[in-house]
Amino acid sequence: MKTERIEVGVRQRVLWIGSEAYPLSNISRVSTADVVYRKGAAVGRFIAHTFFWLLLGVIVLVGLFVGGVLQTDDQTDLAIKAVGGLVGVLILVRLVMLLALLSRRSLWALIIETAGATHRAVISGDRALLNTLVAEIVAAINNPAATFSHTVTNFVMGDQYNQLGRNSVGRVSS
């Protein structure tokens, strides 16, 4: 997950979020929502991967033994250490990934709903700032002279797709 600094503001009856523009007259709802990590699913994937790597390690060792590659006790000990070490490293990598997910701080999303669709516009760790943005956007909808601007640290999660207009770039990996 990477971060970017973007400007969020209202100018001339248009809500600007970075380079995206939302005419205030088209906005039907503005809210914040918790970004929910699927921690249970992540733990389940870790357990499944752990069993998979352990089973694969046993299969490799049995295959080496049945195939006649392991003929002495020294070769068997070396193979067990090598396969066990590799499996241990793979499990350790998955464990680090799991712990990174489980230790992530809470994030919130600014949700903009228009007549056509719902957009997750900004993801931030500052809930108070997003609540301020919601209040200011709603006030700007009712006040044609309203203007404001905030710099927000936006968390970019996953791949983004830009399929609109002549400047379509397709998938942009983060």
- For 142-156, the pLDDT digits (tens) are 888 999 999 888 887
Task: Answer yes or no: do 112 and 167 share one domain.
Answer: yes
pLDDT of residue 159: 52
Domain count, the chain: 2
Domain, as residue range, for 121:
2-37+107-172
pLDDT tens digit sequence for 60-91: 988 888 888 877 888 888 888 999 999 999 99
For residues 38-58, average pLDDT: 91
pTM over 0.85: no
Q: Indicate whether 79 and 136 sit together in one domain.
A: no
Q: Are residues 52 and 98 in the same domain?
A: yes
Pick the last residue of a domain from 102, 130, 147.
102
Tell me: pLDDT of 170 over 90.
no
Q: What is the mean pLDDT of the chain?
A: 84
What is the H or E stretch that residue 81 is in?
Answer: helix 73-102
Residues 119, 28: Cα–Cα separation, whole Å: 12
Residue 45, pLDDT above cutoff 60: yes
Phi, psi of 145 (to 5 degrees): -90, -5
pLDDT of res. 102:
83
Residue 119 pLDDT greater than 80, yes or no: no
Q: How far apart are CA 143 and CA 8, in angstroms?
A: 17
